[in-house]
Amino acid sequence: MPKVLISDKMSPLAAQVFRERGVEVDEITGKTPDELKAIIGEYDGLAIRSSTKVTPDILAHATNLKVIGRAGIGVDNVDIPAASAAGVVVMNTPFGNSITTAEHAIALMFALARQLPEADASTQAGKWEKNRFMGVELTGKTLGLIGAGNIGSIVADRAQGLKMKVIAFDPFLSPERALEIGVEKVELDQLLPRADFITLHTPLTDQTRNILSAENLAKTKKGVRIINCARGGLIDEAALKQLLDSGHVAGAALDVFVTEPAKEHPLFGTPNFVATPHLGASTNEAQVNVALQVAEQMADYLVSGGVTNALNMPSLSAEEAPRLKPYMALAEKLGSLVGQLAHGVIPRISIHAEGAAAELNQKPIVSAVLAGYLRVHSDTVNMVNAPYLARERGIEVREVRTEREGDYHTLIRISVKTEAGERSVAGTLFGNQAPRLVELFGIKVEADLAGHMLYVVNDDAPGFIGRIGTALGEAGVNIGTFHLGRRAAGGEAVLLLSVDEPVTGDLIAKVRALPGVRTAMALRF
Ligand SMILES: NC(=O)c1ccc[n+]([C@@H]2O[C@H](COP(=O)([O-])OP(=O)(O)OC[C@H]3O[C@@H](n4cnc5c(N)ncnc54)[C@H](O)[C@@H]3O)[C@@H](O)[C@H]2O)c1
Ligand SMILES: O=C(O)[C@H](O)COP(=O)(O)O
């Protein structure tokens, strides 16, 4: 009988579903990482919320683990590449707590508008300070959404009911979707000075980290009120404190913090600051939704192999699986490469299967490309919802098959329409198993897309390889693999190299400063 550990507090209905479905279950919450390491080896499944951190170290001890189920949305507490490498499926429940979290953002907006927590404390202290608490109306005010996905669009809907004007910054929001949810799509620099209230609803990614930086906070309207129910790290907390103290920011409400649990914080005690302990998803309704859903999904997988809402595995039938799996790994890597290299909305993506690839069921391959592409910007994307999300974002998906073989026995090519014109990447399978990039924007280059990588476009000239090797060596960065390609001798060249640790902003700046470098960026697979 498969055995599951529930390691974070969740509705008792989860345990009930597991037992009803023939899965043994232990509920042991509040363990330290060392305590978890000591017991995790017994379990086939791990059901979590946001407290348990599933690190490579924990996974290394999880010798029987097959599935991690997140009763909620954000999976930033799970090392997904490490879980994938360990063959562990990671599932989440992408919609079960969206309404509840949107309602929390609205609640915090009211709390700020009318200083409810401070008025409550003062009144219960017997002060009756009627003249101290002068609020503002929400009616007619402008709400600026940063991130207009599932939760952001529910917040927009509720705010419109309150007669607010809603503007949104989300580079992946299509004009059609913006129209459908009734928001004005704007750039961040337009949102900051216009919004009376700003609320954040993006995942924490390299692009969104510190999106409300000191510099951006300084561009906000005087008297702005800011709400974050998404992830700590989206706002520069020290800069926020300064602007609250100076009165530029009239109020701020945080449900999430850079370091959690936040038991002490420089913002605590600041006037017009409201804090809640990551309560966004904490309603009876949402907790029932996510507990039932996670237990059903995990039991399905453990008992019958069914896969739903997996972040690192496609939904598949047992017969197709062995042949399609390596193709999906290739498709996902190519999609991710395109997503990391492209900027903003892509109106069209074409997926061309050539040779042996053209004989296969294209659906999982297309979903894998889209999941790889969209996951760069959202934790909630999986093989199931990627095609739907692509449609919602106005991305036209074209499928082309050519059964005749070209240079390779099997090939997948992804072409995207960008502002700079049509650009494509292509990959094949070595030995029918191992994904390899073979072409990047028209340049032949052979590379394994894996782990932390550095991508450089440079002028093909003598001495360049030595300079880059020296720059990395001086930065103490160890190179794993090194792949080169060029359009023509002396022309544009590309370099893809894998390194043993994350590529830092400092290293990118150093590489960009080298003579002959046209562009450089970090990639992650
Ligand atoms: N406080 C809580 O308890 C709680 C509860 C649920 C969800 N969350 C968090 O809320 C966040 C949003 O959840 P969701 O379900 O709406 O996710 P979602 O994936 O549906 O939406 C995220 C949106 O952010 C947009 N985005 C990505 N990069 C962006 C960028 N650089 N600038 C602007 N927008 C960008 C995406 O295009 C997408 O539309 C997640 O981080 C999730 O973990 C928190
Ligand atoms: O991403 C989520 O679903 C929320 O952050 C909720 O987290 P929690 O389950 O720990 O409340």
Query: Which position has the token pair 């919450």?
Result: 29
- Asked if residue 427 has its Cβ within 6 Å of ligand 2, the reply is no
For the CA of 171, the nearest ligand: 1
The per-residue pLDDT for range 495-525, each reduced to its tens digit, is 999 999 999 999 999 999 999 999 999 999 9
pLDDT, one tens digit per residue, over 218-249 is 999 999 999 999 999 999 999 999 999 999 99
HEC assignment per residue over 474-498: HCCCCEEEEEEEECCCCCEEEEEEE
CA atoms lying within 13 Å on the CB side of residue 445: 26
Domain count, the chain: 4
Cα gap 454→496, rounded to integer Å: 6
Residues 53 and 2 reside in one and the same domain: yes
Residue type, 129: E
Q: Are residues 302 and 344 in the same domain?
A: no
More confident residue, 358 or 307: 358
Question: Going edge to edge, which strands form the sheet with 24-27?
Answer: 24-27, 3-6, 45-48, 67-70, 89-92
Residues 330, 425, single domain; the answer is: yes
Q: Are residues 235 and 117 both part of a single domain?
A: yes
Ligand 1 center–CA 258 separation, angstroms? 16
Lookup: tokens for 44: 């086939």
DSSP secondary structure of 133-167:
------TTPEEEEE--SHHHHHHHHHHHHTT-EEE
Residue to probe by mutation, ligand 1, list 77, 78, 377, 392, most atoms within 8 Å of CB: 377
Q: Which of 441, 476, 496 is the last residue of a domain?
A: 441
Q: Point out the ligand nearest to the CA of residue 94.
A: 1
Q: Same domain, yes or no, for 108 and 240? A: yes
Ligand 1 near 150 CB (within 6 A): yes
- Using CB atoms within 10 A of its CB, is residue 251 exposed (0-12), middle (13-18) or buried (19+)? buried
To test the pocket of ligand 2, the residue of 90, 97, 378 to mutate (highest count of ligand atoms within 8 Å of its CB) is 97
Using 50, 70 and 90 to split pLDDT, how confident is the model at 346? confident
| Cβ atoms within 10 Å of 264's Cβ, excluding its own | 7
**Across residues 439-466, what is the average pLDDT?**
95
- The pLDDT value recorded for residue 110 is 98
Are 145 and 67 within one domain? no
Domain that holds residue 57: 1-96+281-308
Kindly state whether residues 110 and 162 are assigned to the same domain: yes
- Please give the span between the terminal C-alpha atoms of the chain, in angstroms, as a whole number: 34
Statement to judge: residues 322 and 391 lie in one domain: yes
- Please report, for the domain that includes residue 38, its CATH number: 3.40.50.720
Same structural domain, 289 and 380? no
Is residue 249 domain-shared with residue 289, that is, in the same domain? no
Which of 256-260, 319-323, 385-389 has the least mean pLDDT?
A: 319-323
- Domain match, 54 and 103 both: no
pTM: 0.76
Residues 112, 250: one domain? yes
